[in-house]
Amino acid sequence: MEQTTRTDLTISGSGSAAGGFYEDVKVNGSGKIQGDINCSLFKANGSANVYGSITAREVKINGSAKIQGAVNADEVTIMGSGTIEKNLACRELSINGSATVAGNAEAKECEVNGSATFKNDLSCDEISIRGRAKIEGSCSAEDFHAKGQFNIHGLLNAESIEVDLYGECKVKEMGGKDIEVKNTEFASPWKKILRKLFPSHDDRLTAEVIEGDNIVLENTFAKVVRGNHIVIGKGCEIGLVEYKDHLDVRSGASVQSEKKV
């Protein structure tokens, strides 16, 4: 069977094209693409509007792109501004600019160094937040690392959760095996940059429920904390602590009620 040779699609200036099978798709000016795209590389250096879905090996958004459908790719890199109106599935997701995903998002590795809004659920093996992330659904991962700000409306569930407070963080419920929330009291260069980009009142985590095996908390406001080994550190205000093996409430922490179960 004869193999069809794919051609490149390049839009420079202002133009439009039909969707289809391509090798490389590049939008350097202002471009509209009507229909689904299947390609090796999709690259938006200018302003791109795709009225369909994208299936690609690599998606790079250096300018502005709005994709009305879903995105399925090995690598997705957003340096500029990107909007995906449906689901996103990829192996590596890197957000250094601004991104919005309206559907569910799945990735093996996810890095948020800029600003990201996920309007549904986010599921990854590993998540790193060094900017600001808003997740309007739930978030699940093997490893969750944050040195930025996040707001998770649902459940954060991960095997390992490490939060270094660089602003105000919120989550409805947090569950994991090992949970550590710490406050960096010194003003590191990265902390100064984040505070200029994303002003916040306090470096703290607010949650309704935190549940895990091993829990270490600082600057955390929570209604309920449950676990086996729990350390409540400086700056914490906790309503109820339920523990199985060990509880350590340190100086500068407030616990209204504690219960060994």
134 part of a folded domain: no
Q: What is the pLDDT of residue 5?
A: 87
Q: What is the pLDDT of residue 189?
A: 59
**What CA–CA distance (Å, rounded) separates 163 from 188?**
16
76 part of a folded domain: yes
pLDDT 10s digits, 104-150: 999 999 999 999 999 999 999 999 999 999 999 999 999 999 999 99
HEC assignment per residue over the chain = CCCCCCCCEEECCEEEEEEEECCEEEECCEEEEEEEEEEEEEEECCEEEEECCEEEEEEEECCEEEECCCEEEEEEEECCEEEECCCEEEEEEEECCEEEECCCEEEEEEEECCEEEECCCEEEEEEEECCEEEECCCEEEEEEEECCEEEEEEEEEEEEEEEEECCEEEEEEEEEEEEEEEECCCCCHHHHHHHHHCCCCCCEEEEEEEEEEEEEECCEEEEEEEEEEEEECCCCEEEEEEEEEEEEECCCCEEEEEEEC
213 part of a folded domain: no
Q: What is the pLDDT of residue 202?
A: 81
181 part of a folded domain: no
Q: What is the pLDDT of residue 197?
A: 57
**What CA–CA distance (Å, rounded) separates 127 from 160?**
11
Q: What is the pLDDT of residue 83?
A: 99
pLDDT 10s digits, 150-176: 999 999 999 999 999 999 999 999 999
Boundaries of domain holding 50: 1-99
pLDDT 10s digits, 105-115: 999 999 999 99
259 part of a folded domain: no
58 part of a folded domain: yes
**What CA–CA distance (Å, rounded) separates 233 from 180?**
11
Q: What is the pLDDT of residue 2?
A: 45
Domain count, the chain: 1
241 part of a folded domain: no
237 part of a folded domain: no
Query: Of 207, 151, 218, nearest to 183 (Cα)?
Result: 218
What are the mean pLDDT values of the chain's consecutive 10-residue runs (261 residues total)? Answer: 78 96 98 98 98 99 99 99 99 99 99 99 98 98 97 99 96 99 71 56 92 99 99 98 98 98 93
pTM score, whole prediction:
0.92
- Residues paired with residue 36 on neighbouring β-strands, in sequence order: none
